[in-house]
Amino acid sequence: MKSKGSVKKRFRTTKNGKLIANKTARGHMHAPKNGKARRGKRKPLVISGTWAVLMKRMM
């Protein structure tokens, strides 16, 4: 199976094999959101389960 360029751009693997992605809605329009929501967007999202298996296969 060919690797998908869009998946390679959006996801990366850690050295232990976990899948990491950035959280959505980080570009603009942050003023209406509260500080807790804005801070929560900073940490990366760890993908697990079925989606992780599928994304790893596409990479």
Q: For residue range 34-57, what is the model confidence (pLDDT) as tens digits?
A: 999 999 999 999 999 999 999 999
Task: Report the mean per-residue pLDDT for the chain.
Answer: 92
pLDDT, tens digit, 9 for 90 and up, residues 12-27: 999 999 999 999 999 9
Between CA 29 and CA 59 the distance in angstroms is 31
Task: List residues bridging with 12 in a β-sheet.
Answer: 20
Q: Which CATH number fits domain 5-58: 1.10.3720.10, 4.10.490.10, 1.20.1630.10, 4.10.410.60?
A: 4.10.410.60
Q: Where are the domains of the chain?
A: 5-58
CB-based contact 20:13 (threshold 8 Å): yes
**Residue 51 · residue 28 · CB < 8 Å:** no
Q: Which residues 6+ apart lie within 8 Å of 20 measured at CB?
A: 11, 12, 13, 14, 44, 45, 46, 47
Measure the CA–CA gap between 43 and 56, rounded to whole angstroms.
Answer: 21
